[in-house]
């Protein structure tokens, strides 16, 4: 039994547009149940304010990363991600977070798990949630990961050193299949109305739905969406679609089970064609600057204020998958069925996602590697005290 008020070494890091508490695997209990108790205590969950812990009271700042030196051939570190629920005693482990993935390399270098090599250190990361490889290319100076630089990402103030994250063969991360239903598009009838969706599993499984099917523009900001009188009803329908897909990939036995035990996956996203809108920081995003407009949802059907890194990888894969909703939107705008870059319009700006493609015999294109540029920064290091 882990003792209450015991201090545990940790590092608090920002990766992309998210923050996480980083632990060394050896510093946590090896028993899964005890480990979850420690993590929940460290974050102050469950509590809507997470007032008695490290959590920031929203899904983007309630994340945990557990790192250890890998014994796998060709791998530097193993990385286990956890989405810590704010209002339930749950540590979701079925997914990975692309934004937090960008902080794993810098953490591994600064903690001495990987030898620092200037000017760029390549860190080979095995994500245990999805059993997929991630390669991080981290700028290094004086034996430590660089923080300062000229690279900017929307949703994070200022600039920093660019960390290139590469997701190798991201297809089938959870279900083992790129298209879990076997179809590029499916329909579901709910209370007499038909909704169309594309269910794509790459880096993380995402269900893409037309925003217009729900009476939306698709450019709504999170607080604008939550202020709508029909917000709760829209979220109820979204959860039925999301839960149905959770059942499809074996993460839940029924809709009630999905709502409780499979909140983290699959994700669901509104999508629409490029159109002008005002981002959360007031800047105007013109239609010609984006290829796709998306709004992702996380735990508790809360719209994310930016865009998940793994969601971006799934989006570029979907753009290269004939017949999907994303493929229709992106290829129509580009006038090509070969998509090497997708500019995603999200609530706080634009995320650019790149892809290395392999041409297939049928004329389509498979994503060999999906890539995003992020910044990361060590914010705090020390000890966190856990309670019973």
Average pLDDT value over all residues in the chain: 95
pLDDT value of residue 283: 95
| Residue 32 shares a structural domain with residue 98 | yes
Q: Catalytic amino acids?
A: 97, 308
Name the helix (H) or strand (E) containing 160. none
Burial class (CB in 10 A: 0-12, 13-18, 19+), 185: middle
Cβ atoms of residues 310 and 243 within 8 Å: no
Give 69-110 pLDDT, tens digit per residue: 999 999 999 999 999 999 999 999 989 999 999 999 999 999
Pairing of strands 63-69, 18-24: parallel
pLDDT value of residue 165: 97
pLDDT value of residue 263: 87
| Residue 240 shares a structural domain with residue 351 | yes
Q: How far apart are CA 332 and CA 118, in angstroms?
A: 42
| Residue 349 shares a structural domain with residue 220 | yes
Residue 1 has pLDDT above 80, yes or no: no
Q: Is residue 2 part of a domain?
A: no
Considering only 2-11, 18-27, 115-124, which range has the smallest mean pLDDT?
2-11
Cβ atoms of residues 267 and 205 within 8 Å: yes
96: Cβ contacts below 8 Å, ≥ 6 apart? 81, 127, 129, 130, 132, 173, 203, 204, 310
| Residue 98 shares a structural domain with residue 114 | yes
DSSP per residue, 263-295? SSSSEEEEEE----EE-TTS-EE-GGG-SEEEE
| Residue 217 shares a structural domain with residue 141 | no
| Residue 28 shares a structural domain with residue 139 | yes
Q: Is residue 217 part of a domain?
A: yes
Q: Is residue 179 part of a domain?
A: no
Burial class (CB in 10 A: 0-12, 13-18, 19+), 314: buried
Domain count within the chain = 2
pLDDT value of residue 335: 85
Q: Is residue 336 part of a domain?
A: yes
Give 126-144 pLDDT, tens digit per residue: 999 999 999 999 999 999 9
Within 10 Å of residue 207's Cβ, how many Cβ atoms?
Answer: 24
Q: How far apart are CA 45 and CA 12, in angstroms?
A: 17
Q: Is residue 259 part of a domain?
A: yes
For residue 258, give the CATH number of its domain: 3.10.310.10
pLDDT value of residue 336: 83
Residue count of the chain: 388
| Residue 193 shares a structural domain with residue 305 | yes
Give 216-240 pLDDT, tens digit per residue: 999 999 999 999 999 999 999 999 9
Cβ atoms of residues 77 and 125 within 8 Å: yes
pLDDT bucket at 191, cuts 50 / 70 / 90: very high
* Mean pLDDT calculated for residue range 257-271: 93
| Residue 42 shares a structural domain with residue 106 | yes
| Residue 161 shares a structural domain with residue 81 | yes
Q: Is residue 294 part of a domain?
A: yes
Residue 3 has pLDDT above 70, yes or no: no
| Residue 107 shares a structural domain with residue 50 | yes
pLDDT value of residue 91: 94
| Residue 156 shares a structural domain with residue 88 | yes
Question: Torsions phi, psi of 210, nearest 5?
Answer: -70, 125
Q: How far apart are CA 240 and CA 35, in angstroms?
A: 31
Domain containing 296 equals: 186-371
For 117, 139, 250, 308, 362, the CA distances from 199, given in Å and listed in that order, are 40, 36, 14, 16, 21
* Mean pLDDT calculated for residue range 191-204: 97
| Residue 96 shares a structural domain with residue 211 | no
pLDDT value of residue 362: 85
Q: Is residue 276 part of a domain?
A: yes
The pair of three-digit structure tokens given for residue 136, joined into one six-digit string: 């991080």
pLDDT bucket at 360, cuts 50 / 70 / 90: confident
352: Cβ contacts below 8 Å, ≥ 6 apart? 341, 342, 343, 344, 372, 373
Give 286-309 pLDDT, tens digit per residue: 999 999 999 999 888 899 999 999
pLDDT value of residue 329: 97
Q: Is residue 181 part of a domain?
A: no
Q: How far apart are CA 264 and CA 252, in angstroms?
A: 12
Place of tokens 């990987």: 114
């Amino acid at each position: 039994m882990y003792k209450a008020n015991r201090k545990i070494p940790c590092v608090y890091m920002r990766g992309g547009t998210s923050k996480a508490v980083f632990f060394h695997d050896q510093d946590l209990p090896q028993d899964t149940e005890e480990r979850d108790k420690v993590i929940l205590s460290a974050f102050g969950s469950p509590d809507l304010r997470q007032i008695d812990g490290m959590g920031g009271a929203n899904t983007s700042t309630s994340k945990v990363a557990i790192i250890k030196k890998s014994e796998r051939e060709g791998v530097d570190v193993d990385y286990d991600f956890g989405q810590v629920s704010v209002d339930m005693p749950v540590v979701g482990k079925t997914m990975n977070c692309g934004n937090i993935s960008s902080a794993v390399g810098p953490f591994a270098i600064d903690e001495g798990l990987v030898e620092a090599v200037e000017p760029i250190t390549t860190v080979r990361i095995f994500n245990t949630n999805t059993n997929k490889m991630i390669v991080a290319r981290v700028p290094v100076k004086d034996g430590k990961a660089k923080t300062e630089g000229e690279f900017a990402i929307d949703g994070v103030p200022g600039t920093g050193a660019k960390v290139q994250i590469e997701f190798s063969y991201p297809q089938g991360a959870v279900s083992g299949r790129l298209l879990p239903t076997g179809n590029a598009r499916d329909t579901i009838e709910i209370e007499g109305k038909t909704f169309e969706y594309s269910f794509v599993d790459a880096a993380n499984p995402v269900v893409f739905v037309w925003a217009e099917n729900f009476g939306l523009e698709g450019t709504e900001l999170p607080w604008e969406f939550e202020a709508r009188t029909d917000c709760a009803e829209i979220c109820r329908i979204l959860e039925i679609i999301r839960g149905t897909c959770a059942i499809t990939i074996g993460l839940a036995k029924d809709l009630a089970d999905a709502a409780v035990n499979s909140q983290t996956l699959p994700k669901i996203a509104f999508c629409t064609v490029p159109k002008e809108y005002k981002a959360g920081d007031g800047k105007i995003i013109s239609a010609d600057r984006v290829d796709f407009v998306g709004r992702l949802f996380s735990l508790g059907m809360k719209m994310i204020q930016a865009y998940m890194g793994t969601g971006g990888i799934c989006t570029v894969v979907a753009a290269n998958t004939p017949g999907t909703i994303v493929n229709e939107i992106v290829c129509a705008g580009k006038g090509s069925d070969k998509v090497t870059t997708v500019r995603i319009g999200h609530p706080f700006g634009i995320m650019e996602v790149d892809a290395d493609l392999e041409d297939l015999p049928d004329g389509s294109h498979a994503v060999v590697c999906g890539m995003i540029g992020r910044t990361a920064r060590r914010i705090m290091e020390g000890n966190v005290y856990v309670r019973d």
